[in-house]
Each structure stands twice: as C-alpha cells, then as structure tokens.
C-alpha cells in the first residue's frame, strides 16, 4: 500500500494517508467542483487499507468549510472507517467560534459507530 498525499488547493483539502502509521489527515476547505471525483481515491484507498490495517487508525479532520456535496463524500469516508477491524478514533478539529463545524462533527458522530474526539482550537 502506498502513502497518499494530496496537496490542498483553495477548493480542495490537503489529504495525507499513511498505511504504516495508520494516520489519516484531511485539512482545509472542501468545495471541489465534483466532490465524488475528489474523494474517490480516498475511499478506494480505505477499501484497500481495510484488508490489512495498522493496529490503530487515527483520523484527523480539520476542515474550515465543506459544501453539501462534500458532506456526503465525507460520510462515505467515515463509513469505510466504520468497517475497519482495528482501533479507530476520529479527531474532529473546529475553531472556537465555529458552532457549525462542531455540529457537523457531532452529526457525523451520531451516524457513525466510530469514536469521535471533538477538539476545540483556540486562537
């Protein structure tokens, strides 16, 4: 399995997925023209990763903003994580005054059977 590293743009997040360490990071803004196209390699990678995962998977999500079509794709990513057989934790980062992002994390947490840790970033 290869490491995935996608450089972020003003419309897409930076993505890093390391099969050896089990650390997955998605950071930035997610408003791609075609969300399904952007997230497909991530979902495909997780499908492959699920066949032989690290002992622990830590997912760090630090999104400033994501659009509606991205929210569905992010849910697809979380569903793949839910299928992993190892110890998975999602660290959901949100800015101190960003109630919407906190609520989005809580909404995902209520849908997905993976533990979430809400981490407030104080500036």
Range of the domain at 63: 4-121
pLDDT surpassing 90 at residue 51: no
The beta strand positions in 19-115, using DSSP E, are 23-30, 56-66, 87-95
Res 72: pLDDT: 97
Closest by CA to 44, choosing from 10, 12, 76, is: 76
Each residue's pLDDT tens digit, 59-96: 999 999 999 999 999 999 999 999 887 789 999 999 99
CATH label of the domain that carries residue 47: 3.30.750.24
How many domains are contained in the chain?
A: 1
Res 95: pLDDT: 95
């Amino acid at each position: 399995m290869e490491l995935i590293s996608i450089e972020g743009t003003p419309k897409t997040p930076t993505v890093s997925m390391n099969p050896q360490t089990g650390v997955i990071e998605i950071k930035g803004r997610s408003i791609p023209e075609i969300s399904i196209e952007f997230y497909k390699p991530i979902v495909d990678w997780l499908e492959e990763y699920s066949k032989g995962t690290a002992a622990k998977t830590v997912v760090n999500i630090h999104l400033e903003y994501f659009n509606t079509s991205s929210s569905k794709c992010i849910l697809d990513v979380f569903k793949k994580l839910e299928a992993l057989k190892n110890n998975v934790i999602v660290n959901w980062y949100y800015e101190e005054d960003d109630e919407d992002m906190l609520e989005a994390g809580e909404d995902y947490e209520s849908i997905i059977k993976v533990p979430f840790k809400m981490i407030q970033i104080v500036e």
